[in-house]
Amino acid sequence: MIPLMGFAPDADVTTPGILTSCSNLIPYQNGMEGAPEPATPAATPVLAAACIGAAVVSKLDDTRRIIAGTATKLYELASGVWTDVSRVAVYTGGVDTRWSITQFGDATLCANRSDVIQRSTGAAFADVATSPKAEILFTVGAFVMALNTNDGAEKPDGWHCCAAFDDTSWTPNLATQATSGRLVATAGRLTAGMRLGEYAIAYKAKSIYLGQYVGAPTVWNWIQVPGGEAGCVGKEAICDIGGAHFFVGDDNLWIFDGTRPVPVAEGYVRQFFYNNSNPAYRYKTICVFDRQNNRVWVFYPSLGATSPDSALVYHITSKKWGVANRSIEAALNYVANGVTIDGLSAISTTIDGLSSYSFDSQFWLAGGKSMSIFNTSHQLQSMTGVSVASSMATGEAGDDDQVMALNKIRLRYAISPAAATAQTFIQQNSGEGFTAGATGAVLDGKFDVRVSARWHKATFTFTGPVRITHMDADLQPAGGR
């Protein structure tokens, strides 16, 4: 049997094992599986307004904070309530404002480019008086790094770092090593940034800079990374996949491990992504790494959309792609509190009601991490629910000179679906266009679909959870000329 190669609409349609389209079907290590449905964690109310940035951060005593921001407020989820932890004056975010959130020791720091950096160690946030306004914040070594800044003057290509081991001190001083600078070797503003080991990585739309700590007086030495015009389209279009960054650029999707960026979508989904994402709003792309399942979710605005409503899913080790479209406001890795027997009634009053959650899900584990979203109703949801429905379309099989009889199709399942159907399509000569052929339901583990033509392809629809590893078609010569 032929192993499934994943969603690859850019590949030659006759490549064995590829899927030319799919819906709610994502890769796992050995094949493709139905994508989980969003599930609302117990005792998690709706946020007061649209979420424009969220994170789970850990303090030095391993306690966690779940922070979410709106245009005017910062909130913390505690004891089943979104508590307002904003400063006294409301924040002044605009249409495109997004919060950047990082943790430095016991201090949680937030930036939105419209206000100075906000700081909290557990109580309400307050201004860091000496800090700049910043688009991007992240922690690296003994410092907090701020990119795309305003320190009284607009510096879209500017960077600042706080004093060594002191996130409250940002005034440039040789003794404390608080300093700033600009990255001007290439054009444009800084669009994204993230720590990579001991290095600080700063991205523009078409370039990458690597910053290395060198001590006083320079403090940080920046070099431009070789790699053509690889860069990042937006500050959330990037995620840390463990020892490397996955990010979306103007012309490809990339992985960068500190040496050179490597394209990962070429020949698979690159053309599909740029044909189907809105170029005017591509900077709103959100990438999040589902570490438990080794998958990157790339949420992006489709053509005609102004916010993320579609998603490609990439499996890091198998290098396969899938599709699981969702409309979201923000994404994060949620850390569950876990569930006890006594607490089951808060989730469902019946055993049957618990079926919305996969029983091997991280949802049930204290400290379990699950990729999560804020939906367009401002509700935090974890991607731990049971798959409901999915579908896929194969590539094309046949011969230009020989009529082939398709007698049956067999799929090999790791988890078989509750129900499945197949629809075949046939074409006599390449380029003429396919027409619907025979349909089939499962019979003895196969689909009986007797139809003859030079070229064949099929679509499958699945109900309930499914995992598919291989497929095979019984094609026999039926004549030629």
User: Which pLDDT does position 440 carry in this prediction?
Assistant: 85
Give pLDDT tens digits for 279-313.
999 999 999 999 999 999 999 999 999 999 999 99
Determine what percent of the chain is predicted with pLDDT higher than 70: 92
Q: Residue 358 has what pLDDT?
A: 52
Residue 476: other Cβ atoms inside 10 A: 9
- Indicate whether 189 pLDDT > 90: yes
Instruction: Please check the confidence at residue 232 and state whether its pLDDT lies above 80.
Output: yes
Sheet containing strand 261-263, edge to edge, reads: 238-240, 245-248, 253-256, 261-263
pLDDT score, position 251: 94
Share of the chain above pLDDT 90, in %: 85
pLDDT at 228: 85
Residue 344 is classified by DSSP as G
Taking 60 as the threshold, does the pLDDT of residue 355 lie above it?
no
Q: Which domains does the chain have, with CATH numbers?
A: 2-24+389-480 (2.60.120), 54-382 (2.120.10)
- Give the mean model confidence (pLDDT) for residues 131-139: 98
Reported pTM: 0.92
Which residue would you say has higher pLDDT here, 369 or 151?
Answer: 151
Provide the pLDDT confidence category of residue 368 given band limits of 50, 70 and 90. Answer: very low
Q: List Cβ neighbours of 152 (8 Å cut-off, separation of 6 or more).
A: none
Q: How confident is the model at residue 341 (pLDDT cuts 50, 70, 90)?
A: very low
CA distance 480 to 403: 6
| pLDDT of 468 above 70 | yes
Tens digits of residue pLDDT in 32-66: 999 999 999 888 999 999 999 999 999 999 999 99
**Distance between CA atoms of 304 and 272, rounded to whole angstroms?**
15
Q: What is the DSSP string of 246-286?
A: EEE-SS-EEEE-SS-EEES-TTTTHHHHHHHB-TTTGGG-E
